Copies of this chain bind each other. A is one copy, B any other.
């Protein structure tokens, strides 16, 4: 196995987030389940946008956020995902590149627009996402650059892409490339409802291709159809080499080689916006893992990055995470 050019290459939806505040009633009126991600069509995204309050635009996308977090720690990261040749596509490309992440997937003209997610943040800081998957759904096998995949120590895949048959094929292709090259394959389940929509496909893929599984409580409960967290965790540990399970305020649990590591959360003064908490936990964990930290330290790096991201609006870090981790003595 040759030396890796990137610590991690991620494949995911390239999205610009449109983030605004709303009250619980607004979610109820629009049939949005708090804390979830739902896919909406162009008409619904238009209607919701016209009814929501003032917003700000920040680049997002789950796996893209993770790669930006990894780069902020000082890790070498690449991203594969699809944008259109439009204003939001230019914003996405600028922001991920300026954060130091390699992003070479070509923009597409004259088809669907760049994907966007209307993110509604309630007073408790919880985010509810309404995603219009414009051009993202178009990602296909041909756009998964083999050198970018096999040139990374870990290939990180975003579960949201399971909602798109084209992208699923691209996923399997990337996993096969990575496995053949002796690279590790990581998957994040992304969302409980998404897991519910594609449970069997997820299970098959995890058992056949995945080395590292990231999930939160709702996602792992949905995957194994049990509300018993310990049972779900044990099944995840049986299905993958390394299971990384986040539990919001209860911290996280890492299971590997029959050992359980319980990781506390990093305290936060005020939870402003939970968008990206899981994405940034994954960033910290993957940075630790790919830079030789032990699993407990990798988990604490995840907690630290998650704490930074939920203390402000948006899912891209506003602090240099490497410096932050050094100031805490977590990395040298």
Contact = CB atoms under 8 A, between A and B. Distances in A.
Given A87-B86, A87-B87, A87-B88, A98 B57 contact: no
Interface of A: 20, 49-50, 52-59, 68, 86-88, 91, 94-96, 98-99, 314, 316
Most buried by B among A20, A56, A98: A56
Contact of A56 (B68, B86, B96, B314): B314
B91 A57 contact: yes
Contacts of A94: 49-50, 54-55
Contacts of A53: 98-99
A68 B314 CA distance: 22
Contacts of A316: 54
Given A87-B88, A94-B49, A58 B56 contact: yes
Contacts of A59: 54
Contacts of A314: 56
A265 B217 CA distance: 47
Nearest to A72: B54
A254 B56 CA distance: 34
Contacts of A49: 94
A61 to B, nearest CB: 13
Contacts of A88: 87
B98 A54 contact: yes
Contact of A57 (B54, B57, B86, B96): B57
Contacts of A95: 54-55
A269 B107 CA distance: 43
A166 to B, nearest CB: 25
A190 to B, nearest CB: 23
A124 to B, nearest CB: 16
A92 to B, nearest CB: 11
Nearest to A314: B56
A54 B64 CA distance: 13
A-B pairs, top 5 by smallest CB distance, nearest first, are A87-B87, A57-B57, A54-B95, A56-B58, A54-B98
Given A53-B98, A55-B98, A86-B87, 13 more contacts: A49-B94, A50-B94, A52-B98, A53-B99, A54-B59, A54-B68, A54-B94, A54-B98, A56-B56, A56-B57, A56-B314, A57-B57, A57-B91
